């Protein structure tokens, strides 16, 4: 009997031991998982702390940054290389250089149907905080900008806002190419204050514009013409009238035509006499009559002499027009 009791006791002990073992294993697994979670949590916290420190440092750098133009690129003709690069400096507010600092450059790459496409490049400052950038040759005329911005590691809105505030935007211009032997035909019709064509005046916006083309790098490659009778009949009629004038000559490339009207009468002001003129100008292809460009320019001039203010305004308007046209044609 005693022997039977001992056997039963051993069986109960073994079953108790077996039931306890899974519980121990489960506890060990749970403890291991908890340890792993704690490790991951610590790593995540460390990463967040590091990222926060990096962001804080970037914000400090951007808030104290100045990007300035040292020298600008030249203004080439379409298809020609830039001779000189843009040179910029990156310093803090105390004049200390940002050495080996990376920047993103956004620049015009090409133009099609008067729509400009942009590309980006990355540059780096030297130990003095100086960097340079020279765009690739551009096949067409361009009147645009090049932008120098601090390179950012991500898309943080706060960093982007700070970078936007310190970026440097400078002009980028390329003149239209007019091959030797090709000519621009110009007919800008002046109007009187009461809205009538002024065809007999010695003062002419058209002649001034022709001369401004010569000064802008196209010597003797612009000539005046007269087709005022068809000025309101559209590009096809203008083109045909121009061709009739030159008897089938093929050395003309562009036609620049339009109207110049008084936007205000001559009026006396504090410093003399003021006049505002407005020109509506269209550029078309001589061979096809295709419209290439259209612009409206308004110019105001003040001159001490009442009798000189019209001439002064026409001269300035011609300068403003050509300064626009040579980067758009």
Report the pLDDT averaged over residues 48-60: 71
DSSP string, 231-275: TTS-HHHHHHHHHHHHTT---EEEEEEEEEEESS--EEETTEEEE
Which of 8-12, 155-159, 235-239, 274-278 comes out lowest in average pLDDT?
A: 8-12
**Same domain, yes or no, for 252 and 281?**
yes
Which of 174, 199, 218 corresponds to the end of one domain?
A: 174
What is the pLDDT, as a whole number, of residue 51?
A: 52
Of 320 and 23, more confident: 320
**Same domain, yes or no, for 112 and 206?**
no
Q: Give the Cα separation of 293 and 102 in Å (integer).
A: 38
What is the pLDDT, as a whole number, of residue 11?
A: 42
In the structure, what pLDDT confidence band is assigned to residue 55 with cuts at 50, 70 and 90?
Answer: confident
Report the pLDDT averaged over residues 224-237: 95
Query: Is 283 within the bounds of a domain?
Result: yes
**Same domain, yes or no, for 134 and 241?**
no
**Same domain, yes or no, for 229 and 299?**
yes
Q: Quick check: 22 pLDDT over 50?
A: no
**Same domain, yes or no, for 223 and 286?**
yes
CATH classification at residue 71: 2.60.40.10
What is the pLDDT, as a whole number, of residue 201?
A: 80
What is the pLDDT, as a whole number, of residue 3?
A: 45
Domain enclosing residue 144, as ranges: 65-174
What is the pLDDT, as a whole number, of residue 54?
A: 74
Report the pLDDT averaged over residues 157-178: 96
Which of 23-32, 166-175, 194-203 comes out lowest in average pLDDT?
A: 23-32
Which of 115, 147, 174 corresponds to the end of one domain?
A: 174
**Same domain, yes or no, for 170 and 69?**
yes
Query: Is 16 within the bounds of a domain?
Result: no
| Identity of the highest mean pLDDT range in 23-27, 42-46, 245-249, 256-260 | 256-260
What is the pLDDT, as a whole number, of residue 248?
A: 81
What are the φ/ψ torsions at residue 30 (nearest 5 degrees)? -65, -40
Query: Is 5 within the bounds of a domain?
Result: no
* pLDDT per position as a tens digit, 98-107: 999 999 999 9
Report the pLDDT averaged over residues 189-215: 94
In the structure, what pLDDT confidence band is assigned to residue 19 with cuts at 50, 70 and 90?
Answer: very low
**Same domain, yes or no, for 165 and 212?**
no
Q: Quick check: 155 pLDDT over 90?
A: no
In the structure, what pLDDT confidence band is assigned to residue 203 with cuts at 50, 70 and 90?
Answer: confident
| Domain count along the chain | 2
CATH classification at residue 267: 3.40.50.10610
**Same domain, yes or no, for 211 and 170?**
no
Q: Give the Cα separation of 139 and 161 in Å (integer).
A: 34
Strand ranges (E), the chain = 65-71, 86-92, 102-112, 115-124, 130-133, 142-150, 168-174, 183-190, 222-224, 252-262, 267-269, 272-285, 291-303
**Same domain, yes or no, for 152 and 196?**
no
Query: Is 315 within the bounds of a domain?
Result: yes
Which of 126, 150, 174 corresponds to the end of one domain?
A: 174
Query: Is 88 within the bounds of a domain?
Result: yes
Of 140 and 35, more confident: 140
**Same domain, yes or no, for 170 and 188?**
no
**Same domain, yes or no, for 237 and 219?**
yes
**Same domain, yes or no, for 128 and 218?**
no
* pLDDT per position as a tens digit, 56-94: 888 999 999 999 999 999 999 999 999 999 999 999 999
Query: Is 163 within the bounds of a domain?
Result: yes
What is the pLDDT, as a whole number, of residue 238?
A: 97
């Amino acid at each position: 009997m005693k022997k039977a009791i001992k056997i039963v006791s051993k069986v109960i002990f073994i079953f108790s031991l077996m039931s306890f073992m899974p519980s121990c294993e489960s506890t060990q697994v749970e403890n291991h998982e908890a340890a792993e979670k704690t490790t991951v949590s610590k790593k995540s916290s460390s990463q967040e702390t590091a990222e926060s420190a990096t962001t804080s440092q970037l914000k400090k750098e951007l808030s104290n940054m100045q990007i300035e133009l040292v020298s600008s690129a030249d203004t080439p003709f379409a298809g020609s290389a830039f001779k000189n690069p843009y040179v910029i400096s990156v310093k803090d507010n105390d004049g200390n250089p940002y050495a080996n600092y990376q920047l993103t450059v956004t620049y015009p790459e090409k133009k099609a149907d008067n729509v400009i496409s942009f590309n980006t490049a990355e540059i780096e400052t030297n130990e003095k905080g100086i960097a340079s950038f020279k765009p690739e040759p551009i096949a067409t005329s361009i009147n645009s900008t090049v932008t120098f911005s601090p390179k950012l590691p991500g898309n943080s809105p706060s960093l982007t806002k700070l970078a936007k505030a310190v970026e440097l935007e400078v002009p980028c211009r390329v003149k239209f190419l007019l091959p030797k032997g090709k000519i621009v035909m110009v007919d800008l019709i002046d109007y009187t204050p009461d809205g009538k064509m002024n065809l007999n005046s010695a003062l002419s916006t058209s002649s001034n514009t022709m001369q401004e083309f010569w000064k802008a790098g196209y010597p003797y490659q612009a000539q005046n013409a007269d087709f005022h009778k068809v000025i309101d009949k559209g590009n096809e009629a203008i083109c045909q009238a121009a061709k009739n004038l030159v008897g089938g000559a093929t050395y003309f490339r562009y036609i620049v035509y339009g109207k110049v009207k008084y936007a205000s009468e001559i009026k006396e002001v504090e410093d003399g006499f003021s006049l505002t003129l407005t020109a509506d100008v269209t550029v078309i292809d001589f061979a096809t009559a295709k419209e290439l460009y259209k612009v409206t320019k308004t110019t105001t001039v003040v001159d001490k002499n009442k009798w000189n203010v019209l001439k002064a305004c026409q001269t300035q308007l011609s300068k403003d027009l050509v300064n626009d046209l040579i980067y758009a044609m």
